[in-house]
Amino acid sequence: MKTLFKAALSVIFVGFSLISCKEDDDYETIQYADKVKIDSVKIVNDTMAVFGVQSIRTYSTYASQCQGFYGYDYIQTDNFTRNVTAYQYHTNGSCVQANHVSANQINFSPQKVGTYTFKFWKGDNSYITKTIVVE
């Protein structure tokens, strides 16, 4: 009985070893990430309460299906100014070369009363500037 059990375990172990060694090339990997222009910004309320939460949506255009939203660089330059840059990923897949727009968001939760200025990078040295008054 022990021999039969050991033989069964050996067969199972070999089977899993063969499966786990299978090379799977059906996925795409990110090759690199770089800046992507923010085309537009949507802020629902330009006035909000301190400690409240508001979603700020940004829209960017990507040149192919191998590109998409990667993340934000959100820099607080002083107490009330924020610089926001979006980044895109590039994969190694074979993709359709067709523009597509992606919407993404930042959740803003101010901790102080004041007037906050957001500068969203839209290419070169230009920015989309939005202001939110926090009461």
Phi and psi at residue 71, in whole multiples of 5°? 165, 180
43 found inside a domain:
yes
CATH number of the domain bearing residue 98:
2.60.40
Q: Are strands 81-91 and 47-48 parallel, antiparallel or unpaired?
A: unpaired
Range of the domain at 47: 28-134
Burial class (CB in 10 A: 0-12, 13-18, 19+), 77: exposed
15 found inside a domain:
no
The total number of structural domains that make up the chain: 1
Per residue of the chain (135 residues), what is the pLDDT tens digit? 555 445 544 545 545 454 545 555 567 788 999 999 999 999 999 999 999 999 999 999 999 989 999 999 999 999 999 999 999 999 988 888 889 999 999 999 999 999 999 999 999 999 999 999 999
- Provide the whole-model pTM: 0.77
Which residues lie below 8 Å from residue 30, measured CB to CB, with a gap of 6+? 70, 89, 90, 91
Angle at 74 between CA 71 and CA 75, to 5 degrees: 150
Sign, CA dihedral 77-74-34-46, equals: negative
Nearest one of 66, 67, 85, 74 to 127, comparing CA atoms: 85
